[in-house]
Amino acid sequence: MMIVNALGNRLKELRGARSLNAVSQECGIDRGQLRRYEEGRIPDDDLIDKLADYYQVSYEELKGLSFESLYPEGSRQRNALFQWIQRKFK
């Protein structure tokens, strides 16, 4: 469920001030489909690839799976992960 929200949020963030109509025409995806993806529906992998190409980001980054999106700088989760790594490999 977290991935779905991350994908929708990332799509909205990447679209920025551009309208759904403009993006849908430019990338060749139906406006209604694009809106549903931003609201949390999961597109198939081909459409995710198409959107990643359009926005010039990696598949992982678009889905919110990049390290930076999962562990933002200064977050408790990132600090806990780094502390664990330091203890584990000390």
Residue type (1 letter), 57: V
The domains found in the chain, sorted by start residue, are 2-88 (1.10.260.40)
In this predicted model, what pLDDT tens digit does every residue of 35-90 receive, in sequence order? Answer: 998 888 888 888 888 898 999 988 777 776 666 666 677 888 878 888 888 888 87
Confidence band of 6 (pLDDT split at 50, 70, 90): confident
88 vs 22, 56, 85, CA distance in Å? 49, 36, 5
| Residue-level pLDDT at 1 | 40
